[in-house]
Every structure is written in C-alpha cells, then in structure tokens.
Amino acid sequence: MATILFNEIVFGPIKSRRLGSSLGVNLLPRFGKWCSFDCIYCECGWNRDGKKDTTLPTKEEVYQALEGRLRQLAQEGTPVDTITFSGNGEPTMHPNFPDIIEFVLKLRDELYPLAKVSVLTNATRLGKEEVRAALMKIDNPILKIDSPLKWMVDAINIPNEAYSLEETIGNIKLFNHNFILQTMFLKGEEGGVQIDCTAAEHVEKWRELVRELAPREIMMYTIDRETPAKNLQKVTVEEMEEIARPLKEEGFNVQIRG
C-alpha cells in the first residue's frame, strides 16, 4: 500500500481546512512507524511494515529542527496558525514528550504568540501524569476514542500492549471537558471481523460516551486514503450527520470531515 511517512522531524506548513497553516512535528522514527495501536485504517501502514527504522529523534534534534524552522518562517513572514504533533505513530510515546512540549510553548510564545499547539494522540499514555500535564498545557489536546465497545477497539485499533477503555475514559475525564474527542467512522471487515461504526449498538454507546465526557469539541471523520486493511469502506457525511444529530441538538460542537 502507499503508506505516508513523514521523513522530517518538522514538516510543512501544510494548508489544512480545519487548522489553517499547520506546521507538523514528527517525534517518531523518520522512516518507520511506532505506535501503541495498529489501527486498521492507519495512513502510516501496519506497525510490522515500519520496523526497519526504530530510531527516535533526540530532544536536542527536535529542539534544533523546531527552532530553526520556526525562526526561518517568522523571518520570511510565513503565517503559522497551528503547530501540530502527529507524524509516524503516537507522539506521546517519545520519552521526552513533556520537555518538548515545554520547549515548543516557549518558542510559540516568542515567535507566533497567536498560533495554537495541537497534539493528535491515541490517549494510551494519559495514565502518565507528566504526559497528561503536558497535554493539559497545550491549546488542542485531540484525544482518540474510536469506540466505547471493547471488541470494536480490539478490531479497529488493535492495541499492541495492555489497554483498558475504562482507565482511558477515567484519564480523559481528568481534562475536565477541555479537550477535543476524535472518532473514526468506517465499515468493513478485517481478520474475519465485521465492523460497522453506523450500527445501532455502536452509535448508541458512542453518543452515551460523548455525553459522559462532554468534550469541548468532537471531530468525526472517515477514511480518506488507502488503508492497510483492504476491505474497508468510508462512512458518508450524511451518515455521520445522522449520528451527530441528537448531539448537535443537545448543544455539542460536532465537526464532521468526510
């Protein structure tokens, strides 16, 4: 499959409909993927396909790349609306993630005081107090829960370490509503398991979870590019609108990306 790997520590800025001019940061290996999940839809491919590179950038390399690029962009007068941590896997797995967040916040305050700092995370490291504290300091902690049903998490996210939905939900509650919930919606089959995120069983429980967590924003999205699992289909915008309708009526801020 055509996997998308970010071969730089800092990349972009990329024009994003949602985030504006977004400068990306990859704290993971530059030529491989490293994640505590192995999602069937991951644009970086399967974990097993990324084993050839397991080298993480040091925090000094990250500081240098970030500072160099941000100073260059500021000098050129290039706008940066968001500094977004995503990249080739799970950014919070970097051992120096909290220090790197401190560094980027200082740099942002100096060079782009209006820019937001965003982190896309699968929430598996929220049990670590220092990771949670770092995520609470940034503007946009974007926390993934794809399903409140354990069998669907096992089928969609394929955790490759001990993972407890209950613990993750408990850790997310500590954000006191000040986070963005991100949920993928798809249909299909993988490993002999049929998955349908529009099924009533999933939709009802997911809405209940949204009400319980009451995030300040909810991002619903579907697959956009080639996926490592071959038998997956998109969920339509109309289907997601229908799933979101009662939540929107209750006042939740739901963003849908088809």
Q: How far is the CB of 48 from ligand SF4 (least distance, A)?
A: 12
Please pick, from the candidates 19, 42, 115, 119, the single residue that binds ligand SF4 as defined by CB under 6 A.
Answer: 42
Q: Total residues contacting ligand SF4 (rule CB under 6 A)?
A: 9
Q: How far is the CB of 178 from ligand SF4 (least distance, A)?
A: 21
Please pick, from the candidates 37, 63, 206, 221, the single residue that binds ligand SF4 as defined by CB under 6 A.
Answer: 37
Tell me phi and psi for residue 192, to 5 degrees: 80, 5
Residue type, 205: K
Q: Compare residues 57 and 70 and give the one whose CB is closer to ligand SF4.
A: 57
Please pick, from the candidates 10, 23, 44, 240, the single residue that binds ligand SF4 as defined by CB under 6 A.
Answer: 44
- CA atoms of 218 and 129, how far apart (whole Å): 24
Q: Considering the rule CB under 6 A, would residue 155 count as an interface residue with ligand SF4?
A: no
Please pick, from the candidates 10, 19, 27, 39, the single residue that binds ligand SF4 as defined by CB under 6 A.
Answer: 39
Q: How far is the CB of 8 from ligand SF4 (least distance, A)?
A: 17
Q: Considering the rule CB under 6 A, would residue 156 count as an interface residue with ligand SF4?
A: no
- Give whole-number Cα distances, 178 to 40, 114, 125, 137, 140, in Å: 28, 19, 17, 11, 8
| Site residues (CB under 6 A) for ligand SF4, limited to 67-126 | 89-90, 122
Q: Which stretch binds ligand SF4 (CB under 6 A): 34-42, 65-73, 213-221, 246-254?
A: 34-42
Q: How far is the CB of 137 from ligand SF4 (least distance, A)?
A: 22
Q: Which stretch binds ligand SF4 (CB under 6 A): 2-10, 33-41, 101-109, 127-135?
A: 33-41
Round to the nearest angstrom and report the end-to-end CA distance of the chain. 21
- Cα 81 to the chain's mean position, in Å? 18
Q: Is 29 helix (H, G, I), strand (E, B) or coil?
A: coil
Cβ-based burial of 8 (10 A; exposed 0-12, middle 13-18, buried ≥19): middle
SS3 content of the chain, % helix, strand, coil (to 5): 35, 25, 40
Q: Are the C-beta atoms of residues 129 and 95 closer than 8 Å to each other? A: no
Please pick, from the candidates 10, 19, 23, 35, the single residue that binds ligand SF4 as defined by CB under 6 A.
Answer: 35
Q: Are the C-beta atoms of residues 63 and 99 closer than 8 Å to each other? A: no
Q: What is the binding site for ligand SF4 (CB under 6 A)?
A: 35, 37-39, 42, 44, 89-90, 122
